[in-house]
Each structure stands twice: as C-alpha cells, then as structure tokens.
Amino acid sequence: MVHGVSVELTPGRVTALIGPNGSGKSTLLRALARLHKVDDGEVTQADGAVSAFSAREFARRVTLFAQSRQAPHGLTVSEVVAFGRHPHRRRFAGPSPEDRSAVDTAMTVTGVQEMAGRSVGELSGGEMQRVWLAACLAQETGVVLLDEPTNHLDLRYQIETLDLVRDLADDRGVAVGIVLHDLDHAARVADTLLLMSAGRIHAAGVPHEVLTAANISEVYGLPVEVETDPRTGRLRIDPIGRHPARTRKQPVEEKA
C-alpha cells in the first residue's frame, strides 16, 4: 500500500523511484499508468484527470514499460514493436509512413534493428526486454513510465538503456518516471529521486540530497558508504556487508 504520496513528472526530466522490495515503487508507477486503483487522491495531467480519458487517448499520452510481459508466439520483432503504434492508427487502416518511421527509429535506438525479422520466440530474456522497450518508444508519448528496464540486461545494454532514458528527457522533452533497484543507476540517470519505504516517501530531491549514507542505511537496514567520484562527479554507493572486500594477494617469489 502507498500512503500520502505526491509525485510530479515534469517534461524534460527523469524522476526515479527507489527503495527496498515492497516499499511501493511499482505500485505508485502502476497507479500513474491507471493499472492500480487510486482510493484516495487523483492522477492528473495539465488538462484534467486521467480517469476521464478513453483508453485510446490515454495510450497516446502515456506508455508503461512493465516487467511481466509474455512474448507473443508467431510474431517477428518488428511486428511486436509495431504494437506501440496501435493507439495512433485508425480502425482497419494499415501502417502510415509515420508509423513505419516511429518503429524503425525505436528499433534503431534500442539496438534490435538487426533482428527485425526474427521470431520473438528465438530471443533471450534480455533481447525480449529491449524489444518491449522499443514498442514503448514507438508509441511516442509525452510521458514514459519504466519499471526496472535494466533488469536481465548485460552491462552494455544497461548503460545504453540509461543513456536512452536521458535522451528521451533531454532531446525529446519527455517526462520520465522510472523504478530502479540499482542506486548507482538511479544516481546516474535521475534529475529527481524519491526514496520510498513502507509505502511512504522517506526522502525526495536531487541525488546528492537523497542518496546519503544515513538515508540509505535507515531505509535498507544496511550500513553503506557514499562518496563522490572526483573524476566524474557521480555518487558511488558502497554497501558494507559482513565480509570485507577481498584484496589480491601478491605472488610469492621463489628462491633458487
């Protein structure tokens, strides 16, 4: 359950929701996407409550990248990505030049263009993750909601996905809301962080204000050290476990 939470997604900015499992991050994101009922409060856009929009109109405004999506059988990658254009098509009309352009662009920026003709049944979990992300981007909405988009991705595509999120905000003026588990990723990509605990906001603000050792230790129940990389200016979070970091032993020289 989420209690007394207020969040504003601003065009051209990335708002990241972080916190331990069960803190309410995904519930809040799903409420913004109209997939979770709001009992007390309201989700609005500039021209009114989103509850008043038809499903088609809402899908032209907001897209959600969710974790739990099953790969449809018998379809190619390009056909799945084209799902994102359905809110923009007229009934019984084929894809327009704008639709084809949006699909091509989405596949290019997510790195799935080379497998456009492959069956999605042949893809790995990480590859399918990128295909669904491409479908969301093809939808071309002003608000993009992403629920842990870097899960199941290798290091290269984790970083490329975070770069893509920044491109959406910086280059296209999209309002991005993103749930992340990795605090270093959150510090890297977000303009604003909401640190959640037990369904409430524990801290909110820019990464350097939120990702303090005191805040993280209190919410996660784990001692951490936080420092700023002198070269990049980015925050680095180092959780302190029961075992100290292992150091590489020096080789023993043999005497003749």
pLDDT tens per residue across span 52-105: 888 899 888 999 998 767 777 889 999 999 999 988 887 766 788 899 999 999
Asked if residue 251 belongs to a domain, the reply is no
pLDDT at 49 over 90: no
Asked if residue 166 belongs to a domain, the reply is yes
The CATH number of whichever domain residue 162 belongs to comes to: 3.40.50.300
Which DSSP string corresponds to 168-217? HHHHH--EEEEE-S-HHHHHHH-SEEEEEETTEEEEEESHHHH--HHHHH
- Res 68: pLDDT: 67
- Res 217: pLDDT: 95
pLDDT at 256 over 70: no
Question: Beta strand pairing status for 14-18 and 48-49?
Answer: unpaired
Tally the domains of the chain: 1
Which residues form the domain of 192?
Answer: 14-239
Asked if residue 109 belongs to a domain, the reply is yes
- Res 129: pLDDT: 86
Place 245 in a pLDDT band, splitting at 50, 70 and 90.
Answer: low
Instruction: State the average pLDDT over residues 37-46.
Output: 78
- Res 50: pLDDT: 83
Reported as a single tens digit per residue, the pLDDT across 131-154 is 999 999 999 999 999 999 998 888
- What percent of the chain shows pLDDT beyond 90? 53
Asked if residue 254 belongs to a domain, the reply is no
Asked if residue 127 belongs to a domain, the reply is yes
Asked if residue 204 belongs to a domain, the reply is yes
> Pick from 250, 142, 252, 194: which is nearest to 15 by CA?
194
Asked if residue 253 belongs to a domain, the reply is no
Reported as a single tens digit per residue, the pLDDT across 168-226 is 999 989 999 999 999 999 999 999 999 999 999 999 999 999 999 999 999 999 999 99
Asked if residue 248 belongs to a domain, the reply is no
Whole-angstrom distance, CA of residue 204 vs CA of residue 188: 16
